[in-house]
Amino acid sequence: MDTSPVGGTIVTPVRKRRKFPGTALTWVAVTPFAAWALARVAGLERGSLPTQLMTATPYAAAGSLVPLLIAAFGRKRAATVVALLATTALGFSVLPRALGTADAASGRPLRVMTINMLFGRADITTIMQLVREFAPDVLSTQELTPGAVSDLDAAGLKEILPHRVLQAEWSAGGSGLYSRYPMRALWDLMPPVGHQMPAALISVPGGEPIEFVDAHPFPPLGPQVTGWNEAMAAFPSTSSDRIRIIAGDFNASLDHAALRGVLARGYKDAADQVGAGLIPTWPANKRVPPFITIDHVLVDQRVGVQEVSVRDVPGTDHRAVLARLSLP
């Protein structure tokens, strides 16, 4: 501030330094993950694109650590609290799938294998090698074509798993169940939603028969998301009178509210039970490795899960899921 020779005072304005908009940028980083966590926990995904994005929740959980660190090191208290809540919510949603333990409960052994054959193009030789090595009692197939049925039988499946309930089609809609034990088709258990989803009553030795459903809802792409939701809602609940198992390509991960709704009706995910729930099953045999888990074996809460493994099969974009179970 200076004194003017003609009287008065000259005031020189002080320039204020512009502050870097760190708070705003921190919230830009935190908000998407907070919204993702809210949508995942509350099951708020709606429509095709949000439903598809929800399969990436394990990656969002890992990525949520970045804005948490940004907020913490930037000493943005409110943003840090929100980021911490988001990371915690996403972590609790995802991490248990890698922390399961095998069930040592004894019971009637049952081995289940499921494979989406991609319009019947899956390599028959590899499938038969898995069948002979793993010795499944039930084989659940999706995208089963009449040609694949003939090729599997010619390769020896008819002798190993002689009982079958098949709805083969020359499209993605075909499905089929093969069994070591006698089984009877249950044509009225599943309504006609999604692809063909045959169900059967299987006479497993040593106890009551079990009901088995071959799962293959439409993928939640575009308007098909409506049919996907209808199919997920149509899967039967468990029953005190009968053990039920649902296995196949659900086109859904455990981060979808629709699949969690199925679990809430008395089921548990076999892979999730033994710490294999984060092993991806799709897309296989591509330039990019598999990165989402949409093939599942869902079992009645009374069924023990001893082991779940995932195997590559050339010719298809899905990996095979193999589960060793014990029936009560």
**Residue 295 pLDDT:** 98
The pLDDT value given to residue 106: 79
**Amino acid letter, 283:** P
Whole-number pLDDT of residue 16? 60
What string of H, E and C letters represents the secondary structure of 169-228?
Answer: CCCCCCEEEEECCCEEECCCCCCCCCCCCCEEEECCCCCCCEEEEEECCCCCCCCHHHHH
User: Structure tokens of 193?
Assistant: 């939603």
Contact 287, 254 (CB under 8 A): no
Residues of the chain with pLDDT under 50: 20
Write down the pLDDT at residue 2.
53
Q: State phi, psi for 315 to the nearest 5 degrees.
A: 90, -10
pLDDT digits (tens, 9 = 90+) for 283-317: 999 999 999 999 999 999 999 999 999 999 999 99
pLDDT tens readout for residues 156-193? 999 999 999 999 999 999 999 999 999 999 999 999 99
pLDDT (0 to 100) of residue 151? 98
What are the CA-CA distances from residue 173 to residues 141, 194, 221 (Å)? 11, 8, 15
Q: Are strands 199-202 and 183-185 parallel, antiparallel or unpaired?
A: antiparallel
Return the percent helix, strand and coil in the chain, to nearest 5: 35, 25, 40
Rounded CA separation 323/307 (Å) = 6
What domains sit in the chain, N to C, each tagged with a CATH number? Answer: 22-97 (no CATH), 105-327 (3.60.10.10)
Q: Give pLDDT, residue 222.
A: 96
